[in-house]
Amino acid sequence: MPVLPVPDPPLTDDVVALRLWQTADLDQRLAGYADPEFERFTWSTGEPVTEARLREHVEQEERERARGEKLSLAIVDAAALDQVWGGCSVYDINLDQRRAGVGYWLAPQARGRGAATRTVRLLSQWAFDVLGIARLELTCAPDNFASQRVAARSGFFLEGIMRSYMRFQGGRRDTMLFSLLPGDLRDADRPDRQPTE
């Protein structure tokens, strides 16, 4: 599979911008990963996120991009591109099946103003338009209510709960599965929205 394209210039809606991670972001990324909510819902190993582990993770992400499997981007302030608000990714990319997953996190100071919803909408539109994805999946823990709201506000529909779906922090965890088709994204703001085909 080819190296994934990178949004250039950054994807933006004039509030958030999504750009490639840079070396200078390391400390801000590390601070975001140290947040208990991030550790609770996102970091599956349960080990503390040290600088060494983050560097390994970054190298792994570069290999995944080169293999066409995952694109990881920084969520930054559109008015100050060096101010990291969080991170997002398109992952498990299967261009043959035209399917992929979308993930995100925000640093505590960037929460509560819709930045995650803006991010998911921008990234989803890009995945549909540029990668030709036909179905995006979003998964989260059953008790991650903020993330479930982000999914719904971005136009996703809940498909169900996958029991004991994944290894997580020394045990196993259920996962909620949401999906988004291009028409769902177009209708995301309609109060009477229904799943599209």
Ligand X SMILES: CC(C)(COP(=O)(O)OP(=O)(O)OC[C@H]1O[C@@H](n2cnc3c(N)ncnc32)[C@H](O)[C@@H]1OP(=O)(O)O)[C@@H](O)C(=O)NCCC(=O)NCCS
**Nearer to ligand X among residue 55 and residue 149 (C-beta):** 149
DSSP-derived 3-state class of residue 106: strand
Q: C-beta of 39: minimal distance to ligand X in Å?
A: 9
User: CA-to-CA distance for 159 and 194, rounded, in angstroms?
Assistant: 13
Candidate list 127, 140, 180, 181; residue touching ligand X; CB under 6 A: 140
Q: C-beta of 197: minimal distance to ligand X in Å?
A: 26
Tokens 């803006």, located at residue: 118
Paired tokens of 102: 């979308």
What is the pattern of x (binds ligand X, CB under 6 A) and - over residues 100-139? ----xxx----xx-xxxx----------------------
Backbone angles phi, psi at 69, to 5 degrees: -100, -35
**Nearer to ligand X among residue 54 and residue 95 (C-beta):** 54
Q: C-beta of 96: minimal distance to ligand X in Å?
A: 25
Beta strands in the chain (DSSP E): 11-12, 16-20, 71-77, 80-94, 99-106, 135-140, 157-168, 171-180
Q: Which stretch binds ligand X (CB under 6 A): 46-54, 73-81, 147-155, 163-171?
A: 147-155
Total binding residues toward ligand X, as defined by CB under 6 A: 21
Candidate list 33, 38, 128, 178; residue touching ligand X; CB under 6 A: 38
Is residue 30 close enough to count as binding ligand X by CB under 6 A? no
Residue at 11: amino acid letter: L
Paired tokens of 104: 């995100």
Tokens 């769902």, located at residue: 184
**Nearer to ligand X among residue 41 and residue 165 (C-beta):** 41
Is residue 49 close enough to count as binding ligand X by CB under 6 A? no
Contact 101, 92 (CB under 8 A): yes
Q: C-beta of 2: minimal distance to ligand X in Å?
A: 28
DSSP string, 50-62: -HHHHHHHHHHHH
Backbone φ/ψ region at 53: left (φ over 0), alpha (ψ -120 to 50), beta: alpha
Candidate list 26, 34, 37, 187; residue touching ligand X; CB under 6 A: 37
Residues of this chain that bind ligand X (CB under 6 A): 37-38, 41-42, 104-106, 111-112, 114-117, 140, 144-147, 149-150, 153
